[in-house]
Structure formats: C-alpha cells, structure tokens
C-alpha cells in the first residue's frame, strides 16, 4: 500500500518528538514514524542544562518536568586518586545570555512521555521502520519494512546514530571515540540523602558521575578508555556493574557512590560505545538537501562529556519547527507546488545554517574535554586536577549559555 503525507519525521525519540511538538505548537501537522511497536520510553537519564530548559519551555513542557525533578545546586569535581575536591561551581550562576542557570537530571521516560502526550492523537505511527529512501519527483518515497510505501513532501531524519536518512544524505557512519560508557539508575523507595549536586570523579583513563533525578532515584555513569580486552564483559550487565565497582573501590570516593552503583537493578545497567560525527563531516556534509534534513543523533552524535547531546536535539527541534513555520504558514493565499517546494528547501537550508556551527562546536568541545578528563598518564592527570579542572567545569556552563529562541 502507498500513503501520502506532508511532513514526515522518522524516529520517536527525544529529537523526533521535539520536532513534531514544535511543528504542532506552530500550527503544522506531521507524521512520526517509529520502528518499535510502542513509545520507546525506556532508558536512563539526561543532564538537562539551561539551554535545554529554554527549548522545553518553548515546547510548552518545561514546568511539568520541573515538578518531577530536583534542581541541582552545584557541580563538584573530585580527584579519584586523592579524593580531594578540585572544583566547586554553582549551577545557579548567571550566564551572559540566558540569566540564571538551571540544571536538572531528567529521567528519559518522563521526558519522552511529556513530549508525546502533547501531540495530537495519531501523530505517531508505530511498527513503521523506514528501510530506504527514494527520489520520486518533488517528494521522497519511503520504503517501510512491512512492504508499504509513503510519499513525503518534507522528510526529517531523527533516527539516531544509524540513521537511514543521514545515510541517504551522504553523511558518514559516526566514528568510534575509543571509549565506552556504562549507565544506571538506583531507586530508593524510602528516599535517599544524596545532595542535589552533580558529583564527578576523575581517574586515570576514566570518569564517573552521580546526579539525583528526584527524591527517590539517582542516576550514575562511568566512561572509560577501553584496552580492547573487555568485549565480553560489556555484553553482560552484571559484569559491567562489577567492572565499574572494581574501578571505584580502588579509588578514593565516598561510600555513597559505591552504594548507589550497588543498589542499581541489573535491568537498569547498560554499556555502549561512544561515537561522534567527524567535524569535517559536520562542516562539509549535507545536513539538508532539497526537502530532507536530519536532527539529533542522526545529525550530531557526540561523546557525553558536556552532557549536551539530548539538549542539542531539543534545540534542533525548536529551530527547525520555527524555520518551517515561517516558510509554510502565511496569510492563507494559495501557493503553487513549485513555490511551496522552494520555500521548504529554503527553510531547511536556513535550519542547517543555523545549527551547523553550534553543533560543530559541541561535538568538537565534547571530544576534547573527554580526552583531557580521562587523561591516561600522570602528567595529564596533574594538569587536569591542578590547572584545568575549573576551566573544564566553567566550559559546561558556557556551552549551556545558549538561547534557541521561541516558536
């Protein structure tokens, strides 16, 4: 069977839902194609910096999410070798562009559900995996796994690091950063006593972090440089947790850090390779072409060292929705198909121009910060702990000092 749609968004993750909701708030309908049979609300948590809260407010879901998560008051960095505090930074400091900073750790399921619940019924079509894209005159012909096809006037790829749409645009497969990340959430039914702060511990070849999401759950992560001999371990949640604990137990970290990791259910522990888009691919590759573009991880996969991957996806959604709305919502006059095509292409190019340099900066900075933070020798560790720690912490706030604008 063949269907026809106007704006098609591929992927119902954070990026895709942000785009769809931005379009809805702007008065434009879209169809979101999701490969799974239900909303992918599972996952861990994302550090939501001030720039992301500006985007969430523009999308109309910020206040509801604030009520479900605690506000983090400060960032505290520790040396894992000495246990000493290397940096202490207020997360309420004032930025140059956005006023007082605001940082929370959002549970991914609550964020995804908040975005999806605001969409009109029928916006998301489940069990709709796009396997290929084909030119069909002024539209794109999408081939789905079930054998059906769909014609789209606008195609927006939000389908992650293995994006079919990014591949069609000619973007290269994201590069492996040589590092891995383990993540987990610990739940405390009777509540916990973890301070509302972002605590990080830096060791030789690894970095760990711990952030409370609310009064009963705490998110933790552990990133490390792999020696290539831990392949089998990374496939087993129990062994991943034991690996992280073995590293942390040899470091000088508070007992509460170990307790949080030990408390994590195995179903809530996972590891994954860290990937990023080559800066040259971001600079010279096609983010948009004709009536096709990409957002989120399909556009700018990055290492998690700034905590900006999900935040940037939310920014993308607001900016793209605004560009399309300005192009397609007019005074109601009739337009020819050719005029509409030109407007769509110009809008997507405007979006690409607006987001290319912002996301290039985030990808490159995140990679460099990660390299410094996980220094593999004593010289790098000493420079990080004694000289660079404060500068790296302030960089997190400076990157969050960004306003994506309103719809």
Per-residue pLDDT of the chain (407 residues; tens, 9 = 90+): 556 679 999 999 999 999 999 999 999 999 999 999 999 877 799 999 999 999 999 999 999 999 999 999 999 999 888 899 999 999 999 999 999 999 999 999 999 999 999 999 999 999 999 999 999 988 999 999 999 999 999 999 999 999 999 999 999 999 999 999 999 999 999 999 999 999 999 888 889 999 999 999 999 999 998 877 677 778 788 999 999 999 999 999 999 999 999 999 888 788 999 999 999 999 999 999 999 999 999 999 999 999 999 999 999 999 999 999 999 987 455 778 889 999 999 999 999 999 999 999 999 999 988 887 766 666 666 666 666 777 888 999 999 999 999 99
Q: Which domains does the chain have, with CATH numbers?
A: 4-74+108-175+277-375 (3.50.50.60)
DSSP 406: -
pTM of the predicted structure, to 2 decimals:
0.95
Structure token pair of residue 217: 């759950």
Residue 78, helix vs strand vs coil: strand
Q: At what angle do helices 237-249 and 255-263 cross, to 10 degrees?
A: 170
DSSP H or E run through 253: none
d(CA 317, CA 16): 8
């Amino acid at each position: 069977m063949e269907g026809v749609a106007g704006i098609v968004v591929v992927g119902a993750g954070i990026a895709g839902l942000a785009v769809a909701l931005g379009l809805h708030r702007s008065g434009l309908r879209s169809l979101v194609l999701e490969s799974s049979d239900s909303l992918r609300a599972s996952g861990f948590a994302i550090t939501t910096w001030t720039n992301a809260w500006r985007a969430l407010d523009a999308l109309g879901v910020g206040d509801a999410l604030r009520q479900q998560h605690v506000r983090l008051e400060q960032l505290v960095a520790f040396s894992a070798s000495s246990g000493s505090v290397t940096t202490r930074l207020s997360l309420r400091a004032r930025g140059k562009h956005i006023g007082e900073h605001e940082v929370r750790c959002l549970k991914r399921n609550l964020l995804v559900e908040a975005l999806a619940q605001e969409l009109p019924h029928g916006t998301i079509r489940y069990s709709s995996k796009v396997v290929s894209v084909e030119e069909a005159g002024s539209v794109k012909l999408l081939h789905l796994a079930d054998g059906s096809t769909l014609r789209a006037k606008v195609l927006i790829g939000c389908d992650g690091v293995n994006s079919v749409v990014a591949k069609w645009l000619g973007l290269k497969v994201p590069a492996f950063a040589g590092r891995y990340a383990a993540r987990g959430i610990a739940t405390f039914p009777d509540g916990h006593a973890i301070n509302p702060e972002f605590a990080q511990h830096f060791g030789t070849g690894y970095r760990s972090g711990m952030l409370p999401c609310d009064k009963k759950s705490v998110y933790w992560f552990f990133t490390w440089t792999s020696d290539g001999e831990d392949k089998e371990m990374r496939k087993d949640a129990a062994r991943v947790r034991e690996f992280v604990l073995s590293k942390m137990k040899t470091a000088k970290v508070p007992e509460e850090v170990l307790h949080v990791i030990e408390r994590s259910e195995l179903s809530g522990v996972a590891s994954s390779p860290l990937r990023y888009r080559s800066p040259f691919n971001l600079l010279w590759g096609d983010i948009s072409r004709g009536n096709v573009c990409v957002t989120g991880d399909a556009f700018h996969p990055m290492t998690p060292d700034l905590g900006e991957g999900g935040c940037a996806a939310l920014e993308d959604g607001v900016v793209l929705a605004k560009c399309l709305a300005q192009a397609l919502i007019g005074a109601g006059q009739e337009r020819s198909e050719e005029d509409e095509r030109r407007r769509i292409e110009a809008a997507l190019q405007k979006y690409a121009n607006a987001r290319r340099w912002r996301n290039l900066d985030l990808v490159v900075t995140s990679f460099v910060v990660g390299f410094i933070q996980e220094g593999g020798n004593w010289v790098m560790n000493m420079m990080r702990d004694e000289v660079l720690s404060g500068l790296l912490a302030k960089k997190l706030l400076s990157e969050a000092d960004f306003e994506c604008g309103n719809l």
